Amino acid sequence: MTRIIDFHCHIASEMCFPGSFQSGVVDNMTVALQSKGMPVTKDKVAKMHAGTLRDPLCDHLVKEMDDAGIDEAVLLVPDFTYALRDSTHSIEELIEHHKLVVDRHPGRFKVFVGVDPRWGEAGVSLFEKAIVDYGFDGMKLYPPCGYRLSDKLLYPYYEICSQYSLPVLSHIGATSPVLDFELALPIYVDKPARDFPGVDFVLAHGSVHYPDECAMLCNNRPNVYIDVSGYEAVEVAGLNALFRRGINHKILFGTDWPVFRLQGHQSDFVNRLLEEEAFPETMSEAERDLFFFKNAKRLLEKKTSPSPSAAG
């Protein structure tokens, strides 16, 4: 097996996901399970879901990474705190917690910082502090919270990412029903991708949500990429089709831990790709290596090291 970087993970803790967000997820899970004839209540599903969010220091995640042969993972910090005011922690506190996790597990994690652009100048300063002082590695955006990727409020953040050659990863498509899906269309990346050619934009869940549009953008914008997180929820035939589009140099492996913990471990999700023939027969070992490791490594290694005084 080639080396692996998981480009899409989260800390498994309720502190990272507001109660309203979790409640919406549980509603959808309950309906889905009941439709399959399973006699479950929302309370039971809520307890099952809560059980997946009990690894605040990522100790168990690191063990699963070891079992799955995953060298490194990108921890994403979505900022729900502006849109969902029942958040138990501020975005600044969440950033501090991610620094604690990175220090606890040297060499195992990169961090992409999310700051809602409506926090204004204070948000920009907080983001730059995370990049300059903490050495974090990119930006995580969550448009369903109430903004588009083309929003001019994001441009100061893109400027920072351009200055330090950092990638921007954005959620695309559906999420908890308490948020706005329409804002998370992939086409909204087109203008910032043109305005910031030195910034690599990654469309998360691009093999599941709007795969045709995501593939089109990858084909035609040199700095647009896809991660495949979310493939666990559907048949791998979609992945197989994606790998046939001639953009394997643009596709990144990701699991969206801990979203699918009830379905298995990280090793299960890696093995499933092999066992269920996610890879076309025409896909070479070199292309698989791009998918699992080298595409992610290439994006992450572009980062330049800012001076600690750069944030003022």
Per the domain annotation, does 308 fall within a domain?
no
Establish if 42 belongs to a structural domain: no
Question: 280: how many CB neighbours lie within 10 A of its CB?
Answer: 15
pLDDT tens-digit profile of 260-293?
A: 999 999 999 999 998 999 999 999 999 999 999 9
Which residue range is the domain that position 115 belongs to? 4-17+53-300
User: What is the rounded distance in angstroms from the CA atom of residue 71 to the CA atom of residue 195?
Assistant: 33
- CA–CA dist 136, 121 (Å, integer): 19
**pLDDT for residue 230 is more than 60:** yes
Pairing of strands 138-141, 4-9: unpaired
Structural domain contains residue 146? yes
Q: Calculate mean pLDDT across residues 216-240.
A: 96
Q: What is the three-class DSSP state of 299?
A: helix
List all residues 6 or more positions away from 50 whose beta carbon is below 8 Å from its beta carbon: 14, 22
Hey, how many other C-beta atoms are within 10 angstroms of the C-beta on 136? 25
Helix axis angle for 91-104 and 121-132, nearest 10°, is 10
117 preceded by a cis bond (ω within 30 of 0): no
Output the pTM of the full model.
0.96
Residue 173 CA to residue 183 CA, distance in Å, equals 8
**47: in domain:** no
Give the model confidence (pLDDT) of 140-196 as tens digits. 999 999 999 999 999 999 999 999 999 999 999 999 999 999 999 999 999 999 999
**pLDDT at res. 208:** 95
The amino acid sitting at 296 is A
Number of structural domains (the chain) is 1
β-pair type (54-55, 109-113): unpaired
* C-alpha distance across the termini of the chain, in Å: 45
Q: Would you say 292 and 5 are in contact if contact means Cβ atoms under 8 Å apart?
A: yes
pLDDT of residue 265: 97
Report the pLDDT value the prediction gives residue 305, as an integer from 0 to 100. 80
Three-state DSSP class for 5? strand
Examine residue 24 and state whether it is found in any structural domain, yes or no. Answer: no
Name the residue among 52, 128, 55 with its Cα closest to residue 97. 55
Contact 238, 278 (CB under 8 A): no
* 94/21 Cα distance (integer angstroms): 16
User: Is a pLDDT exceeding 80 seen at residue 312?
Assistant: no
Provide the β-strand partners of residue 138. Answer: 112
> What is the structure's pLDDT at 2?
81
Tell me, yes or no, whether 310 lies in a domain.
no
C-alpha 91/C-alpha 122 separation (Å) is 11
**Mind listing the pLDDT tens digit for each residue in 236-247?**
999 999 999 999
Take residue 209 and report the two structure tokens written for it: 């949500």
Closest CA to 213 of 172, 177, 182: 172
- Mean per-residue pLDDT, 227-233: 96
pLDDT at 99 over 70: yes
Residue 155 in contact with residue 121, Cβ under 8 Å?
no
Q: Identify the three-state secondary structure at position 205.
A: coil
Given this model, what pLDDT does residue 311 score?
52
For 8: left if phi > 0, alpha if psi spans -120 to 50, otherwise beta; the answer is beta
Query: What is the reported pLDDT for 308?
Result: 55
Contacts of 140 (CB under 8 A, 6+ apart): 76, 77, 78, 79, 112, 113, 114, 168, 169, 170
CATH code for the domain in which residue 84 is found? 3.20.20.140
In a domain, 28, yes or no: no
The mean pLDDT value of the chain amounts to 96
Is 241 domain-assigned? yes
Residues 181-197: pLDDT tens digits?
999 999 999 999 999 99
Number of separate helices (H) and strands (E) present in the chain: 12, 10
